[in-house]
Structure 1
Amino acid sequence: MVAVKYLLLILLFTTGCAQAPQQTNNKYHETRMLMGTIVNIDVCRNEHEQEDIQKSYQRVWERLEEISWRMNVFDEKSEVTQINNSNGNTVSIQEDTYYVLQRSMEFFKQTSGAFDITVWPLIKLWKQAAKNNRFPSQEELINVKKGIGLDKVELLEGNQVRLKNKETKVDLGGIAKGYAVDEAARIFREEGIDNFFIDAGGDIYVGGMNCRGQLWRIGVRDPRDKSKIFNVVEVSNAAVTTSGNYEQYYDIQGERFSHIIDPITGYPQKEVVSATVIAPDALNADSLSTALAVLGAMRGTKLINTFDYSHASIIMIKQDDGTIKNFKSNFYGNYQKNK
């Protein structure tokens, strides 16, 4: 289930700044390699405020670096690793990590288990299967699945957590990046910066308007040809995130499998090639786009339609004849530029 998003290339990209007729603000741009991906941040501000912008960038990068190591399943010093190595003992963690775990449990319930941060052992199993070029055995899948499920994670008072099953391991890769993007947006607003573009490897959040005073325009890539744009959405103060199997996959005995694992079946999801979600914040968009890739077109679209106009989605599936069919939620048309 939980997408290995920290390895995804950029799935969405801005097309708006280059096409508007008149620039009203200067664009400031900085890039860092964080959370296993490229993070691009644009800020639109008056040229006389450059010094303030540099201070704001510094605060943002420091915060992202903190989240990057503390919620990273690959970092031996991270709080995620401490949890995974706890052997059933209680672990004290920072308030923000605890918050992300809480929200993960909410999404687990909301998506009927499609979003599940305990899927990490299944991800490792399929990675090893690809490395060995052999499919996991039924026995391996059954044994690994014994530790899957957020009912095996206990959140206690005082920012403490305990894993109730020794086989259970957590991975925040499908939600931490969205949280980090939201933290960056929060800091910019605290600094009085309202117009900005944050892209953490395809997890995008845009604040206010672009540098020409227009809505930000985000291009959704065509899963059949990454160099082409399938369509464009216009957003402000919203997040846009895509999950899919066309950028990353497992190759086993000549067959290609999605890197997104269904925590219920234990197998890679097959139907969805791309699931894009628009939401009020990146944490929601990040988690829901992953869940939609697991739920599939019908159930995924039905889930998004339970929200108000602030949520929208487009799910693309590959049909038996190789053609792509897309499913749009009720409010997707409100954002779509090229209808």
Structure 2
Amino acid sequence: MKRINLHILSLVIIFLHFAACNSGSQKKEYSYYQDQGEIFATGYHIKYAYGRSLKKEIVAELERFDLSLNPFRDNSIITKVNRNEPVNPDSLFIKVFRKSMEVSRKSGGKFDITVSPLINAWGFGFQNMDSITPEIIDSLKMFVGFEKISMNNNGQINKTDPRVTLNTSAIAKGYACDVIGNLLERYGVKDYMVEIGGEITARGANEKGECWRIGVDKPIDDATGMQHELQVILSLCNKSMATSGNYRNYYVKDGKKYAHTIDPHTGYPSQQDILGATVIADDCMTADAYATAFMAMGKQKSIELAKEIPGLYYYFIYEKEDGTFGIEYSEGFEQFFHPFDSM
């Protein structure tokens, strides 16, 4: 396979002129507020139309989310589950767990929130690649697998092996977007855009009464990661979007490109043809989970699965056999395209 330095598939929020896609005009006294900060070691940007700033409420809701699902927080619910301590999971934990199990089943286990031991073994940027052995992988696989953990009707977790641990990072950022969107709607906000770590939920319209515009970066042969060129501009009204990609997070050894996505079945980095998967769905948790799953499944199996999920659209950038890039997207995805020449 041809070696290519790939630029990370990123999301750029841009507010330029586009044909209106208005959800109903806001009251004139409303202003568009923009809040930003950090959660899960990544940034968030939230823009919304309201009569006052809701930053205090947003921060409080993100804190509640963090206390439930941050596996690196000592007193979080997920940490207590991982340590096999008595804990009563909250509604946030229960919802993301059940959605994770659903996607795991539909993807044949390619999406798996128990895969952390394998990810940790490989190390950040695959720094431990030279020390990984088949024996290490086999030993870790003994307590990796979504079928090794379950939840009863009361929300209590059951494990087949106490060493099983959870990490919901492949779905949590998307769900956090939904949670903040729900918070804004409880205050009567109709027009907003929530972006957390590149995952997005958008409702209504921006301050110009237009659809929210999102740019997806093109893969570029650039080792510095400084070059940016848009692959496509998308327009979102009342939809959510998530993107997963291997543009920086891969390692080349002996001519093989090892993706940042670990295959839970093999224990090794996935070597599939998809380089970037952008998924649009009604909610961001669904989009986030399937963007991750598709990276591990490969293009053909992902296309087949996507057909079974109502309201889900995909846009894949993949590597052809000759090392060049190909594009494939689902039927109906063209409704989200925005032409470059009207910028």
The TM-score with structure 2 as length reference comes to 0.86
1:213 to 1:230, Cα distance in 2 relative to 1, 3 A: same
1:249 to 1:82, Cα distance in 2 relative to 1, 3 A: farther
Cα distance in structure 1, aligned partners of 2:246 and 2:74: 28
- Does 2:318 align with 1:317? yes
Identify the residue that residue 12 of structure 2 maps to in structure 1.
Answer: 13
- Does 2:203 align with 1:207? yes
- Aligned counterparts, 1:322-337, within 5 A: 322-337=323-338
Cα distance in structure 2, aligned partners of 1:133 and 1:268: 10
Cα distance in structure 2, aligned partners of 1:261 and 1:299: 17
1:132 to 1:179, Cα distance in 2 relative to 1, 3 A: closer
Cα distance in structure 2, aligned partners of 1:333 and 1:117: 32
Once the 2 structures are TM-superposed, how far is the Cα of residue 325 of structure 1 from its aligned partner?
0.9
The answer to whether the 8 A contact 2:235-2:336 is kept is yes
Once the 2 structures are TM-superposed, how far is the Cα of residue 255 of structure 1 from its aligned partner?
6.5
Identity %: 27
Structure 2 counterpart of 1:283, which letter?
A: M
Once the 2 structures are TM-superposed, how far is the Cα of residue 59 of structure 1 from its aligned partner?
1.4
Cα distance in structure 2, aligned partners of 1:129 and 1:27: 39
Identify the residue that residue 259 of structure 1 maps to in structure 2.
Answer: 260
Identify the residue that residue 38 of structure 2 maps to in structure 1.
Answer: 33
Matched position secondary structure for 2:169? coil
Once the 2 structures are TM-superposed, how far is the Cα of residue 129 of structure 1 from its aligned partner?
8.9
Matched position secondary structure for 1:143? helix
Identify the residue that residue 281 of structure 1 maps to in structure 2.
Answer: 283
- Aligned counterparts, 1:24-173, within 5 A: 26-45=31-50, 49=51, 51=52, 54=53, 56-86=54-84, 91-127=87-123, 130-173=126-169
The answer to whether the 8 A contact 1:217-1:233 is kept is yes
Cα distance in structure 2, aligned partners of 1:14 and 1:239: 13
The answer to whether the 8 A contact 2:19-2:210 is kept is no
Cα distance in structure 1, aligned partners of 2:289 and 2:184: 23
1:64 to 1:175, Cα distance in 2 relative to 1, 3 A: same
The answer to whether the 8 A contact 1:10-1:202 is kept is no
The answer to whether the 8 A contact 1:93-1:160 is kept is yes
The answer to whether the 8 A contact 1:155-1:161 is kept is yes
1:33 to 1:90, Cα distance in 2 relative to 1, 3 A: closer
Which sections of structure 1, spanning at least 5 residues, go unmatched? 1-8
Cα distance in structure 1, aligned partners of 2:136 and 2:124: 12
Identify the residue that residue 5 of structure 1 maps to in structure 2.
Answer: none
Matched position secondary structure for 2:280? strand
Once the 2 structures are TM-superposed, how far is the Cα of residue 250 of structure 1 from its aligned partner?
4.9
Once the 2 structures are TM-superposed, how far is the Cα of residue 135 of structure 1 from its aligned partner?
4.7
Cα distance in structure 2, aligned partners of 1:106 and 1:133: 31
- Does 2:193 align with 1:197? yes
Cα distance in structure 2, aligned partners of 1:120 and 1:248: 16
Once the 2 structures are TM-superposed, how far is the Cα of residue 82 of structure 1 from its aligned partner?
1.1
Cα distance in structure 1, aligned partners of 2:174 and 2:55: 18
Identify the residue that residue 293 of structure 2 maps to in structure 1.
Answer: 291
The answer to whether the 8 A contact 1:318-1:324 is kept is yes
1:259 to 1:161, Cα distance in 2 relative to 1, 3 A: same
The answer to whether the 8 A contact 1:71-1:176 is kept is yes
The answer to whether the 8 A contact 2:177-2:201 is kept is yes
Identify the residue that residue 6 of structure 1 maps to in structure 2.
Answer: none
Matched position secondary structure for 1:205? strand
Once the 2 structures are TM-superposed, how far is the Cα of residue 125 of structure 1 from its aligned partner?
1.1
Cα distance in structure 2, aligned partners of 1:315 and 1:185: 26
Aligned length: 321
Once the 2 structures are TM-superposed, how far is the Cα of residue 144 of structure 1 from its aligned partner?
0.9
Once the 2 structures are TM-superposed, how far is the Cα of residue 152 of structure 1 from its aligned partner?
0.9
Q: Deviations over 1:48-73 (max 9, x none)?
A: x2x3xx1x332122111221232112
Once the 2 structures are TM-superposed, how far is the Cα of residue 10 of structure 1 from its aligned partner?
8.1
Structure 1 counterpart of 2:47, which letter?
A: D
Structure 1 counterpart of 2:281, which letter?
A: A
1:328 to 1:41, Cα distance in 2 relative to 1, 3 A: same
The answer to whether the 8 A contact 1:11-1:201 is kept is no
Once the 2 structures are TM-superposed, how far is the Cα of residue 256 of structure 1 from its aligned partner?
5.2
